[in-house]
Amino acid sequence: MQAAILTLAANEGAYMAEIFRAALDAIDRGQAEAAQALGMTPATTMRVILLPQALRIVVPPLGNEFNLMMKSTSLLSVIGLQEMFLTAQSINSATFKTFEIFLVAACYYLALTTIWSFVQRFIERKLADPGHVVATPSLRTRLTGSGFGRDRDTLAGKGAN
């Protein structure tokens, strides 16, 4: 288990650091200068001024990385930890029902990522500006993979009911 945690942490650590670095770089430098002019310490500036703004920027890519990390747990089979894809391979070798077994595994991955996308959408809406519309695909769009479809028209104000 320690090897699994270390593997996932090393695999995702650089991506997470880059997401946070990019979010902090996206905030106008004048915000920190204004806080310094008001006499705030660097720690207070980070906690009160920069991090709340960066949090809005961080949530979408962080949610995507969470989904990627969930899917990359199949890497854990290399170090011998029993996980979903390895379990599907074991059952397949015993029953030779390849399609059915991997279809079930795919449905599990789809269910987990869909549930997480709803959680991510909730978090994004809570952190968004009051007049800001969060562009997220519907469940139908996620299942068919057809882009934003009708949701895009709704966001543009064309298909509002």
Instruction: Tell whether 123 is covered by a domain.
Output: yes
* Within a domain: 161: no
**6-51: pLDDT as tens digits:** 878 888 888 899 999 999 999 999 999 999 999 999 999 999 999 9
Overall domain count for the chain = 1
In contact, 94 and 83? CB cutoff 8 Å: no
pLDDT class for 161, splitting at 50, 70, 90?
A: very low
* The pLDDT of residue 42: 95
Q: Which residue has the higher pLDDT, 107 or 1?
A: 107
Q: Which of 29, 60, 23, 62 is nearest to 45 (CA)?
A: 29
> What pTM was estimated for this model as a whole?
0.58
pLDDT in tens, 48-88: 999 999 998 999 999 889 888 887 777 676 655 566 777 88
Residue 152 within any structural domain of the chain: no
Residue 35 has a pLDDT of 94
Q: What is the pLDDT of residue 30?
A: 94
- The CATH number of the domain holding residue 27 is 1.10.3720.10
Name the residue range of residue 121's domain. 2-128
**Alpha helices, DSSP H, located in the chain:** 2-26, 29-37, 42-44, 51-71, 84-95, 98-127, 139-144, 150-156
Q: What is the pLDDT of residue 158?
A: 47
Q: 94 in a domain, yes or no?
A: yes
Domain-embedded: residue 20? yes
The verdict on residue 157 lying in a domain is: no
pLDDT digits (tens, 9 = 90+) for 83-139: 677 788 888 888 888 888 888 888 888 888 889 889 988 988 888 776 665 556 666
Rounded Cα distance between 157 and 11, Å, is 41
